[in-house]
C-alpha cells in the first residue's frame, strides 16, 4: 500500500518581495471575496502561483483548490451522484470543485485557455458567492465563497472583454529590472529551497500579523454600518470610470468595494478619495478602453474632407476609427486594384448548329 507524498510547504506570503501591486490585490480579494477575484497577467517566473498558494495559508483552515485545464463542467460545478442513484436511492448531488473551494482559494493557471463555459460558471459563483446547478433532473444550490485567482500569460492569448470585465481586479506583472531587487528575491528563494522550515520560522511573526489583520478587516467589511463614505468618494469613482471609458457600472461598484476593503485593511474609520486612488488602477487596468488611454483631454476637430478623387485611399478614415467611436485595430486602408481584360465568352453551341436545329415552317 502506497502512501500519498506530503504536499510541499508554501512560500510565506510575508516574504514575497518586488510585487506590491500583486500583494495588495490578493489581500483585498481576501478581505472581500465578493470583489470577483484577481486576474494576474505576466510572464513566467513572476511569483504568480507562489503568491496564490501563500495567500491560502493566511486564511484560517482555508483550502487551496486548483482547477485543471482539462476539467469538465460537471467536475467544476457538481452533478448527479450516479453511484448513489444506481444503488436504488434517491437523487443526490455530488459537489464539485466550487464546493471544495468554499472558504479558501480557487486557483486557475492559464485561465485564458479554459473553455468559455467553465469561465462563465466560475465567474458567476465568484461574484455571487452561490453555485447553482440545474441539470440531469436536479436543481441544487450551495454557498461557494472563495478567493478566485486566475493567471495568464498575455503572449498566449487573452480573454474576451465580457469575461475580463467580470474579474474584480487585475494586476500586470513585469520582470524585475532592478539588479539589487532581483538578487534579494533570488537569495530568498534559494534560502527557502535549502531550508523551508527554517525560512518559514523567520517569517512566522510577520505571517501571524498578516493573518490577524485579515481577520479584523473581514469582520469590518461584514458590518454594513462600518466605513461610511460621502459624495467626494462617489465623485472620484465616477470621474475615474468615465475617464477610462468603461462599459456599464461594474467598474464603479468594484472600485467602491475595493476602496472599502482597503480602508478596512488600513484600519481607517471612513473611506476616502485616497483609498479610491490606490485601488483605481487594479480596477480599471483590464476595463480601460484603448482609445481612453491615448485620447487627448480636448476633443480634436474633425479633419476636412479631402479634395482628391475617390479610390486612392486618401479619404479613408484612419485605421482604428470607423466613425462610431470604437477602435478597429485590424482595419487597413483600401488598395487600388487594376482591371484585367478578359476574353469574351463564346457560346457552347455554334450559331450555325442552332439554325440547323430550328424546325422548318410547313
Which residues are tagged catalytic?
250
For residue 225, give Cα distances in angstroms to 219, 229, 233, 259, 262.
12, 11, 17, 15, 16
CA-CA-CA-CA dihedral for 52, 54, 58, 59, to nearest 10? 40
**Three-class secondary structure of residue 247 per DSSP:** coil
Angle between helix 231-244 and 250-266 (nearest 10): 130
Name 64's bridge partners: 105
- Other Cβ atoms within 10 Å of 252 Cβ, number: 17
Q: How far apart are CA 328 and CA 23, in angstroms?
A: 35
CB 157 within 8 A of CB 114: no
Helix (H, G, I), strand (E, B) or coil at 243: helix
Amino acid at each position: 500500500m502506497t502512501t500519498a507524498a506530503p504536499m510541499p510547504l508554501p512560500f510565506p506570503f510575508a516574504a514575497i518581495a518586488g510585487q506590491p501591486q500583486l500583494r495588495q490585490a490578493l489581500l483585498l480579494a481576501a478581505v472581500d471575496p465578493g470583489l470577483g477575484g484577481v486576474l494576474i497577467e505576466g510572464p513566467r517566473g513572476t511569483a504568480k502561483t507562489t503568491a496564490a498558494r501563500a495567500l491560502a495559508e493566511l486564511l484560517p483552515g482555508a483550502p487551496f483548490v486548483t482547477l485543471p485545464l482539462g476539467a469538465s463542467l460537471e467536475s467544476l460545478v457538481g452533478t448527479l451522484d450516479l453511484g448513489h442513484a444506481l444503488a436504488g436511492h434517491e437523487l443526490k448531488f455530488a459537489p464539485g470543485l466550487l464546493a471544495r473551494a468554499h472558504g479558501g482559494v480557487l486557483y486557475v493557471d492559464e485561465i485564458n485557455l479554459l473553455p468559455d463555459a467553465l469561465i462563465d460558471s466560475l465567474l458567476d459563483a465568484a461574484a455571487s458567492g452561490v453555485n447553482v446547478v440545474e441539470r440531469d433532473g436536479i436543481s441544487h444550490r450551495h454557498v461557494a465563497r472563495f478567493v478566485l485567482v486566475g493567471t495568464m500569460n498575455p503572449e498566449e492569448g487573452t480573454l474576451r472583454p465580457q469575461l475580463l470585465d467580470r474579474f474584480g481586479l487585475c494586476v500586470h506583472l513585469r520582470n524585475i529590472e532592478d539588479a539589487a531587487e532581483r538578487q534579494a528575491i533570488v537569495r530568498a528563494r534559494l534560502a527557502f529551497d535549502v531550508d523551508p522550515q527554517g525560512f518559514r520560522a523567520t517569517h512566522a511573526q510577520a505571517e501571524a500579523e498578516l493573518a490577524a489583520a485579515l481577520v479584523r478587516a473581514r469582520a469590518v467589511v461584514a458590518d454594513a454600518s462600518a466605513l461610511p463614505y460621502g459624495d467626494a468618494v462617489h465623485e472620484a469613482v465616477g470621474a475615474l470610470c468615465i475617464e477610462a471609458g468603461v462599459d456599464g457600472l461594474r467598474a464603479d461598484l468594484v472600485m467602491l468595494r475595493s476602496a472599502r476593503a482597503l480602508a478596512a485593511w488600513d484600519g481607517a474609520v471612513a473611506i476616502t478619495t485616497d483609498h479610491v486612488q490606490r485601488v483605481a488602477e487594479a480596477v480599471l487596468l483590464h476595463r480601460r478602453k484603448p482609445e481612453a488611454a491615448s485620447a487627448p483631454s480636448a476633443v480634436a476637430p474633425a479633419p476636412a474632407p479631402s479634395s482628391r478623387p475617390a479610390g486612392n485611399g486618401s479619404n479613408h478614415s484612419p485605421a482604428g476609427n470607423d466613425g462610431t467611436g470604437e477602435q478597429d485595430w485590424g482595419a487597413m486602408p483600401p488598395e487600388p486594384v487594376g482591371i484585367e481584360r478578359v476574353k469574351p465568352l463564346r457560346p457552347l453551341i455554334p450559331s450555325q448548329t442552332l439554325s440547323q436545329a430550328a424546325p422548318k415552317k410547313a
